[in-house]
């Protein structure tokens, strides 16, 4: 009689090569380094770091998407996310729906009818880890969890960019808690626009990992860093305690269920 050790199916998936690992985590380290520099610099250097951070983050997430789920996933993801987010931003900047009245500053570079090219890449940077987290946590409510995740992420992003004059709002009615310069409609807009994007991505994108691909460790690190940097940055560098506590509390509803599922869930879950 022999005892066979059971290993879940997901544990048998082989990892990526050493060079791929260096590229992936080196890019992530660069993105984190740029974010650390953000509150320490001013002027044109700050603008360069702002733009470089978004593009570096987007590229890292696309590389992870490619290495984890394959070329079809990565290409479909970037086309859909870029196109949908650009369409939403064009609609929002022209009509005020769904976010409220806002306008982008010219300092963000090349624009497409008033929307900086960098903005859809910020959506790309945010959408991939949130989609992975949503698929890990739930099978039937990916769109809802994902939309909430994008809204929670923006609670850190928007006040930082408004303070740097990258865009401005016309606040009418209630505002986001501890963010008087940002209307509450922005949070609602992110929730509903995010739900729509996540629903489309969840339907359109493959759900299977590659047999030889990157695991979700980078996603773990990205989400933990988002929470940590948002809380610490607002507490000690931007001096916005309310943003730190409120944003940290809301984002915890994304981070904690994901980390719990990643630790205790089935290994072959997404």
Q: Which residues, 6+ apart, have CB-to-CB distance to 19 below 8 Å?
A: none
174 contacts 126 by C-beta, under 8 angstroms: no
Beta bridge partners of 212: 14
Q: Which helix (DSSP H) or strand (DSSP E) does residue 121 occupy?
A: helix 118-137
- What pLDDT, on the 0 to 100 scale, is given for residue 127? 98
- The answer to whether 187 and 220 have CB atoms below 8 angstroms apart is no
Helix H, strand E, coil C: the string for 62-114 is: HHHHHHHHCHHHHHHHHHHHHHHHHHHHHHHHHHCCCCCEEEECHHHCCEECC
CB 151 within 8 Å of CB 192: no
pLDDT per residue over 135-191, tens digit each? 999 999 999 999 999 999 999 999 999 999 999 999 999 999 999 999 999 999 999
Residue 267's pLDDT is: 61
pLDDT of residue 146: 98
Domains of the chain, residue spans: 16-262
Give me the chain's average pLDDT, please: 93
Q: Specify the range with the lowest mean pLDDT, choosing from 135-139, 227-231, 265-269.
A: 265-269
Angle at 65 between CA 230 and CA 244, to 5 degrees: 5
The larger pLDDT score, comparing residue 188 to residue 269, is at 188
Crossing angle of the two packed helices 71-95 and 43-69, in degrees rounded to 10: 140
The confidence score (pLDDT) of residue 82 equals 98
In DSSP terms, which residues pair with 239 in a beta bridge?
none
Instruction: Say if residue 11's pLDDT is above 90.
Output: no
Tokens of 141: 């409510």
Position 170 scores a pLDDT of: 96
Task: Determine the Cα–Cα distance for residues 39 and 230; give it in Å rounded to an integer.
Answer: 12
Q: Can you give the pLDDT at residue 13?
A: 54
Q: Is the peptide bond before 98 cis (omega within 30 degrees of 0)?
A: yes
* Tens-digit pLDDT profile for residues 30-70: 999 999 999 999 999 999 999 999 999 999 999 999 999 99
Interatomic CA distance for residues 198 and 143, integer angstroms: 5
pLDDT in tens, 195-222: 999 999 999 999 888 878 899 999 999 9
Q: How much is the pLDDT for 266?
A: 62
**CA dihedral sign of residues 250, 87, 27, 146:** positive
Instruction: Return the beta strands (E) in 126-233 as ranges.
Output: 167-170, 175-176, 179-183
Whether pLDDT at 102 is above 60: yes
pTM (2 d.p.): 0.93
pLDDT tens digits along 82-98: 999 999 999 999 999 99
Contact status, residue 166 vs residue 198, Cβ threshold 8 Å:
no
Residue range 236-249: average pLDDT?
98
Q: Which residue has the tokens 């002027």?
A: 43
């Amino acid at each position: 009689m022999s005892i066979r050790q059971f290993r879940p199916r997901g544990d048998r998936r082989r990892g990526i090569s050493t060079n791929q690992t260096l590229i992936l985590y080196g890019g992530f380290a660069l993105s984190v380094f740029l974010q650390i520099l953000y509150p320490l610099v001013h002027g044109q250097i700050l603008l360069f770091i702002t733009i470089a951070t978004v593009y570096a983050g987007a590229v890292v997430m696309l590389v992870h998407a490619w290495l984890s789920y394959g070329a079809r996933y990565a290409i479909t993801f970037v086309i859909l996310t870029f196109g949908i987010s650009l369409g939403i931003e064009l609609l929002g900047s022209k009509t005020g729906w769904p976010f409220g009245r806002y306008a982008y500053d010219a300092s963000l570079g090349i624009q497409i009818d008033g929307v900086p090219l960098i903005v859809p890449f910020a959506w790309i940077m945010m959408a991939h880890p949130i989609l992975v987290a949503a698929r890990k946590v739930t099978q039937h409510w990916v769109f809802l969890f994902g939309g909430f995740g994008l809204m929670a992420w923006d609670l850190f992003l928007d006040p930082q960019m408004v303070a740097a004059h990258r865009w401005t709002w016309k606040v009418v009615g209630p505002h986001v808690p501890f963010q008087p310069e940002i209307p509450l409609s922005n949070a609602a807009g992110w929730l509903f626009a995010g739900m729509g994007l996540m629903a489309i991505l969840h339907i359109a994108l493959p759900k299977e990992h590659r047999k030889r691909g990157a695991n979700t460790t980078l996603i773990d690190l990205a989400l933990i860093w988002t929470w940590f940097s948002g809380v610490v940055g607002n507490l000690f560098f931007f001096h916005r305690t309310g943003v730190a506590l409120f944003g940290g509390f809301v984002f915890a509803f994304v981070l904690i269920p994901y980390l719990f599922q990643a630790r205790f869930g089935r290994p072959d879950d997404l």
